[in-house]
Amino acid sequence: MPELPERVDVLVNNAGGRGTPVAEGSLKEVAERWRKDFDTNVLPAVLLTEALLPRLASPGGRVITISSVAALRGNGAYGAMKAALQAWNHTLAGQLGPRGATANVVVPGYVAGTELFGGPATEEELARRRAQTLVGRVGEPEDVAAAVAFLAGPDAGYVTGEFLNVNGGTLLGR
């Protein structure tokens, strides 16, 4: 078990994943799928944050949670879990505000070069994703990192309870 620092300045809740979509199945299978997506996406963020709250810098601490555009346009259990994180962030921002700490959510669209979809995308898939954006390119991990860095940095101290979309214009203003 790694030693935890006495003070945590920035916590980024990044862990997450999409379960295998189940088009049909018994109610038991559907329940298992939803519970698995809950365990993968919601509980790690909530439990890690709860565990670190006593150590979060006050003032100045930052909690940044990674959601997904799926929370805005649907995508079965995965989208619902990401939407749950965004609702939870409101509560968290309320808790942290009096301590001078912030809680925000970065909401990425498709990001190339990750393992989220189980391997590299085909050229056809990349072209389809590119065409969904306004800027004519797919997201890169650096795009998400830049948004996280902004929210973690000194210029974002008055930003809390927000959702920062990083999707190249795939979905506007939600």
Ligand X SMILES: NC(=O)c1ccc[n+]([C@@H]2O[C@H](COP(=O)([O-])OP(=O)(O)OC[C@H]3O[C@@H](n4cnc5c(N)ncnc54)[C@H](OP(=O)(O)O)[C@@H]3O)[C@@H](O)[C@H]2O)c1
Candidate residues 24, 115, 124, 155; the one interacting with ligand X per rule CB under 6 A = 115
**Total residues at the site for ligand X (CB under 6 A)?**
14
157 sits near ligand X (criterion: CB under 6 A): no
Candidate residues 11, 16, 64, 88; the one interacting with ligand X per rule CB under 6 A = 16
**Within 127-156, which residues bind ligand X (CB under 6 A)?**
none
Q: Are 174 and 116 in contact (CB under 8 A)?
A: no
Rounded Cα distance, 54 and 1, in Å? 18
Longest dimension (CA), the chain: 50
The span of 50-58, 91-99, 112-120, 152-160 binding ligand X (CB under 6 A) equals 112-120
Candidate residues 108, 143, 160, 168; the one interacting with ligand X per rule CB under 6 A = 108
Pick the catalytic residue: 42, 68, 72, 78? 78
Minimum separation from the CB atom of position 165 to ligand X (A): 11
Minimum separation from the CB atom of position 122 to ligand X (A): 15
Rounded Cα distance, 105 and 161, in Å? 8
Closer residue to ligand X (CB): 30 or 112: 112
> Which one, of 83, 82, 12, lies nearest residue 41 by Cα?
82
Q: Are 75 and 28 in contact (CB under 8 A)?
A: no
Rounded Cα distance, 14 and 144, in Å? 11
**Is-catalytic flag, 78?**
yes
Provide CB contacts within 8 A for 76, sequence distance 6+.
21
**Within 41-100, which residues bind ligand X (CB under 6 A)?**
44, 66, 68
C-beta neighbour count of 113 within 10 angstroms: 12
Which residues are known catalytic residues? 78
Q: Which residues bind ligand X (CB under 6 A)?
A: 14-17, 40, 44, 66, 68, 108, 110-111, 114-116
